[in-house]
Structure 1
Amino acid sequence: MRLNKYIAHHSSYSRREADKAIQDGYARVDGEIQDNPATQVDEKEVIVYVSGKQITPRDKYTVIVYNKPKGELVTKSDPKGRRTIYDGLDKQYKHFIPVGRLDYATEGVLLLTDASKIATALMNSNLERIYKVKIKGEITSEMESAMMNGMTIDDASAGGHSHSKITSMTFAPFIGYKIQKSEHNYSVLKIAISEGQNREIRRFFAHFGTDVADLKRISFAEVELNNLPTGKTRFLSRSEYSALTTFMKAEQKLKRERGEK
């Protein structure tokens, strides 16, 4: 296993933070300073210290659910001084890693964890994400066809951030959708998707000339928002942890079959 990956997997360091600590000479492997993040280490045998503190392999981890409000960025800090999720979270969660991102104007279920391997596995998964969406205007037959069959957009800049470098985007068929209201002024629907692409839903509807007025994620896999108040957190329930454990075991099995570490 790469040294930076080992540190990130078994500590609160992100991969980027691990890279910097290693390159700055703060990492020791079996007593010797290593400044190359790609250094290979034996996860079962190696002894690693970062800034004088031993990195201990662990299987235990914590996952919390945060009902993210609108108007918070999913980032550690913002050069413009805008509010981030860490301004709303308790201090004990300042080192937790968000599972993906919800944009500034999107609210709802955001998972955070103290284990980067959990965050990475969930982010890259095709687990179901359910959103409640309010759009301006009616839901057209073209929208429904794209939701059912998927589509590729050569120019997906509409609906994206002004600084985004993404051009084309392919949308997989939605897992499902349910129209709750469709009128000339606005429409409301629930959609279930298996991806987490950058501003995917906003880009999808923007392709049809429609703005998303409100967007709320109400569940991520087995984890539902339920009655969690806006801006509050909770731990996963026993059943939610059980489902996550089952998922992680399946991921590890798949990695072994692929010959990955």
Structure 2
Amino acid sequence: MAEERLQKFLAGAGIASRRKAEALISAGRVRVNQRTVTELGTKVDPGRDLVTVDGALVSQPEQRSYYLLYKPSGCVTTASDPQGRPTAMEYLRGVPGRPFPVGRLDYDAEGALLLTDDGELANRLAHPRYGHQRVYLVKVKGDPPAEALERMKAGVRLEDGPARALEVAVHEHADRNVWIRVVVGEGRFHLVKRLCEAVGLQVQRLFRPEFGGIGVGGLRPGRFRRLEPEEVRALRQRVGLESGTPARGPSVRELPKAARRHGHGPPAAPGAAPPPAEPDADEVGPRARGASRAGPRAAAPGPGGRASRPSRPSRPGRAGTRRR
């Protein structure tokens, strides 16, 4: 069997993405034939060398696993979080294999998240040089001026360098807000939100309807499904790992819509306690604003998990008059 770079071998074995595998090597957590290796260019023979990470033997999986999760808002796309926030991995608890998230999706963003133990596919989908495009639907406050959308396509300068959207267009009008469709070619941290803010748009909700041409239609937040063989084949064709023309992804009109929000915070993962209640990002108006001003007594949960407001004593001569 041909030799390959150690980080590629670890990613292919489903230990972590290639970038995180490099971090494991640099940290001295990887051993090859009982010898600690920290050099990223090290090559191994999968059929002959014994590789361990933190003392556990690494071997190539007999069968790859591929899942699509509708990541809810309010969780992070890491295996663990030092702040104790919910993680996307908790929703896949108990599935076979060792799938890990491909790329990232912001804590307060929602939508399509691919998880797999196919390290080479994950690397090609995440790395900008392979040209994989990411589609987002962004709910912005008010009606965005055409000049702002054009500036996003022309390019703006962010604190970590210039950036631009490949495509920007109005997708759908909502009450007092507008959904715009933004296509980018890289997964830089908070890129879509920062592009919008750079041109004066206020982001209210960020939704990724599909990833790699595979949409989250039919899934509710916190739910996942295993990819069909033809979907896996199309993904690998899309990034050049298999020959052939990939199947067409959803068109602009076919893009799934973000799920309606019910209750507060992300849905609880299987076997996990529900997270503490948080205000709904889409809830506006006097009730939401009043709840934040009312203090601890107003936050007591009422029926259905909603905060109930304490009743005010009536005043003589003011019956039936609404206080403004």
Q: Name the TM-score, length of structure 2 as normaliser.
A: 0.63
Which has the larger Rg?
A: 2
Among 56, 59, 69, the alignment partner of 1:55 is 59
Distance 1:200 1:87 in 2: 25
> Is it true that 1:146 corresponds to 2:151 in the alignment?
yes
Distance in 2 separating the partners of 1:247 and 1:179:
25
Structure 1 distance, partners of 2:172, 2:58, is 54
AA aligned to 1:41 is K
Distance 1:167 1:52, change over 3 A: closer
User: Are 1:41 and 2:43 matched, yes or no?
Assistant: yes
2:164 aligns with 171
Aligned residues between the structures: 235
Instruction: Give the secondary structure class of the aligned counterpart of 1:61.
Output: coil
Q: Whole-Å Cα distance in 1 between the matches of residues 181 and 23 of structure 2?
A: 40
In structure 2, the partner of 1:121 is: 124
* SS of 2:11 mapped into structure 1: helix
**CA 1:41–1:89 in structure 2 vs 1: closer, same or farther (change >3 Å)?**
same
Which stretch shifts more, 228-237 or 2-11? 2-11
In structure 1, which of residues 102, 108, 116 is the aligned counterpart of residue 111 of structure 2?
Answer: 108
Deviation at 1:172, TM superposition (A): 4.0
TM-score, normalising length: structure 1: 0.76
Superposition CA RMSD, Å: 3.0
Q: How much has 1:92 moved relative to structure 2?
A: 2.7
Contact 1:66 1:112 in 2 (8 A): yes
Q: Shift in Å at residue 251 of structure 1?
A: 5.0
Instruction: Name which of structure 1's ranges 103-112 and 232-241 shifts more when overlaid on structure 2.
Output: 232-241
| Corresponding letter in the other structure for 1:169 | P
Decide whether aligned partners of structure 1 residues 177 and 209 sit closer, same or farther in structure 2, where only a CA change above 3 A counts.
closer
Gaps of 5+ in 2: 244-324
Aligned to 1:65: 68
2:210 is the counterpart of 1:219? yes
SS of alignment partner, residue 172 of structure 2: strand
2-structure distance, mates of 1:34, 1:242 = 37
Which moves more between the two structures, 120-129 or 90-99? 90-99
Q: Does 1:181 align with 2:157?
A: no
SS at match of 1:91: coil
Superposition deviation, residue 54 in structure 1: 5.2
**2:170–2:178 CA contact under 8 A, matched in 1:** no
SS at match of 1:92: coil
For residues 237-252 of structure 1, the aligned pairs below 5 Å read 237-248=228-239, 250-251=240-241
Q: 1:61 to 1:37 in 2, by over 3 A?
A: farther
Q: Distance in 2 between matches of 1:194 and 1:4?
A: 24
In structure 1, the gaps of 5 or more residues are: 157-165, 254-261
Asked if 2 retains the 8 angstrom alpha-carbon contact of 1:2 and 1:41, the reply is yes
State the secondary structure of the residue aligned to 2:199: coil
Are the counterparts in 1 of residues 135 and 182 from structure 2 also a CA contact under 8 Å? yes
Q: Give the structure 1 partner of residue 300 of structure 2.
A: none
> AA paired with 1:202?
K
CA shift, 1:120, in A, is: 1.2
- Please state whether the residue corresponding to 1:242 is helix, strand or coil: helix
Moved more, 44-53 or 236-245: 44-53
CA drift at 1:240: 1.2
Distance 1:23 1:216 in 2: 35
Say whether the 8 Å CA contact 1:14–1:116 is kept in structure 2. yes
